[in-house]
């Protein structure tokens, strides 16, 4: 290789770059330098490109479904048709029940179901690169009114919470992330408990349930929703269903597992509730 110009030995370059990196770490960790504007700029630049890539991904997955053989689809269609008629029947009954439900809700002073909240639809454009974190980025940001701590829904269940907001993107920490704690309650018995995500449970797609009173009667499949006492999550959002519960060795509490309502392996379209818990009551 020909050599021209100033020559820096790679060893020295390593030292220089290491110092730069460590300085960056120290500066950002101690919050001496605000990084949010830089991050925002980077996000704003990358979001359009990622939206494009996401479209490619959607298309690829569409192809995959197209390749399912026709017989399978016909069978599925048949099953769905019978389900439709079942649902139609059920729907009639449910419509009748709605009125009754409204009255009962008033009695329970739970008149603000989360269906009434102002929501905004968003598309997932990136997922965390590593396997250590479980968060994703959506294509809505502060210009659409998204704020930190807003709850994110998917398939009618709680998917996560907004942790960071840029102009046209927002980062959502998903419910199954290792660092996630949600104060929850069992719908039937109104017993309070804590639902946590865990890295070791991530693969099985379950959440851990803890701090449940030993007196509580729990049945498998019971619905778990966010509790009224949670400070970040709006009350009454479906988290999942009880999988199994066992007594702790102290005989005061129970722990168990919850199967989330959301299929976290295929979160693509989400709804962000534009209502923060603190302002929900006022």
Partner 1 sequence: MKKNISIFLIILVTFLVQTSFNLIFPSVLAVPNLVLILTCCNGYMRGKKSGMWTGLLSGLMLDLFYGRILGLTALALLYIGYFNGFLFKVFFDDDIRVPLVAVGISDLAYGVFSYLVRCLSGAKLSFGSGLLYTILPETFCTVLCTIPLYFLYHWLNKKITANELEEEQSPWLRR
Question: Which region among 57-65, 86-94, 145-153, 215-223 touches partner 1 (by CB under 8 A)?
Answer: 57-65
* Binds partner 1 (CB under 8 A): choice among 178, 211, 222, 243: 178
Give backbone dihedrals phi and psi of 105, rounded to 5 degrees, phi first.
-60, -45
Which residues fall within 8 angstroms of residue 13, CB to CB, at 6 or more apart?
Answer: none
The answer to whether residue 39 forms part of the interface with partner 1 (CB under 8 A) is yes
- Residue 255 contacts residue 208 (beta carbons within 8 Å): yes
Which residues, 248 to 277, sit near partner 1 by CB under 8 A? 265-266, 268
Which residues, 133 to 162, sit near partner 1 by CB under 8 A? 133, 135, 137
The answer to whether residue 6 forms part of the interface with partner 1 (CB under 8 A) is yes
CB of 201 to partner 1, least distance (A): 9
Q: Looking at beta carbons only, is 164 or 222 nearer to partner 1? A: 164
The answer to whether residue 24 forms part of the interface with partner 1 (CB under 8 A) is yes
The answer to whether residue 1 forms part of the interface with partner 1 (CB under 8 A) is yes
* Binds partner 1 (CB under 8 A): choice among 34, 48, 49, 106: 49
Residue with tokens 């803890």: 210
- State whether residue 257 is helix, strand or coil: strand
Q: Looking at beta carbons only, is 124 or 186 nearer to partner 1? A: 124
Q: Looking at beta carbons only, is 24 or 101 nearer to partner 1? A: 24
* Eight-class DSSP state of 264: G
Q: How far is CA 186 from CA 11, 24, 77, 198, 232, in A?
A: 60, 45, 35, 20, 18
CB of 262 to partner 1, least distance (A): 14
Q: Which residues pair with 8 in a beta bridge?
A: none
200/83 Cα distance (integer angstroms) = 36
Nearest CA to 126 out of 62, 177, 171 is that of: 171
CB of 98 to partner 1, least distance (A): 36
In this structure, the dihedral spanned by the alpha carbons of residues 100, 102, 104 and 110, taken in order and rounded to 10 degrees, is 160
Q: Which residues pair with 119 in a beta bridge?
A: 273
CB of 35 to partner 1, least distance (A): 6
The answer to whether residue 167 forms part of the interface with partner 1 (CB under 8 A) is no
* Binds partner 1 (CB under 8 A): choice among 147, 149, 155, 164: 164
Q: Looking at beta carbons only, is 9 or 99 nearer to partner 1? A: 9
127/94 Cα distance (integer angstroms) = 38
- State whether residue 171 is helix, strand or coil: strand
Which residues, 68 to 97, sit near partner 1 by CB under 8 A? none
* Binds partner 1 (CB under 8 A): choice among 63, 85, 109, 200: 200
239/155 Cα distance (integer angstroms) = 11
Which residues fall within 8 angstroms of residue 119, CB to CB, at 6 or more apart?
Answer: 153, 271, 272, 273, 274
Residues that bind partner 1 in the complex, under the rule CB under 8 A: 1-8, 10, 13-14, 17-18, 20-25, 27-29, 35, 38-39, 42-43, 46, 49-50, 53-54, 56-57, 60-61, 124-133, 135, 137, 163-164, 171, 178-179, 199-200, 202-203, 265-266, 268
């Amino acid at each position: 290789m020909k050599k021209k110009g100033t020559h820096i030995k790679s060893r020295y370059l390593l030292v220089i770059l290491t110092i730069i990196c460590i300085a960056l770490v120290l500066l950002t960790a101690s919050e001496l330098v605000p990084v949010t504007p830089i991050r925002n700029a980077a996000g704003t630049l990358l979001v359009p490109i990622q939206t494009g890539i996401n479209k490619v991904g959607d298309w690829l997955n569409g192809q995959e479904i197209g390749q399912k053989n026709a017989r399978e689809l016909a069978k599925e269609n048949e099953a769905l048709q019978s389900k439709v008629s079942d649902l139609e029947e059920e729907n009639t009954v449910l419509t009748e029940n709605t009125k009754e439900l409204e009255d009962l809700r008033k009695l329970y002073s739970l008149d603000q179901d989360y269906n009434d909240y102002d929501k905004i639809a968003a598309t997932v454009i990136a997922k965390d690169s590593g396997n250590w974190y479980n968060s994703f980025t959506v294509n809505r940001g502060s210009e659409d009114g998204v704020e930190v701590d807003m709850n994110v829904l998917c398939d009618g269940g709680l998917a996560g919470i907004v942790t960071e907001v840029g102009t046209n993107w927002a980062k959502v920490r998903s419910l199954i992330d290792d660092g996630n704690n949600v104060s929850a309650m069992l719908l039937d018995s109104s017993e309070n408990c804590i639902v946590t995500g865990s890295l070791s449970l991530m693969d099985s797609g379950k959440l851990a349930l803890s701090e449940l009173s030993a007196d509580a009667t729990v049945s498998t499949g019971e619905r778990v929703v966010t509790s009224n006492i949670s400070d970040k999550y709006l009350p009454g959002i479906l988290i999942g269903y009880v999988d199994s519960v066992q007594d702790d060795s102290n005989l005061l509490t129970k722990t168990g597992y919850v199967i989330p309502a959301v299929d976290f392996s295929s979160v693509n379209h989400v709804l962000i509730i534009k209502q923060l818990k603190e302002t929900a009551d006022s």
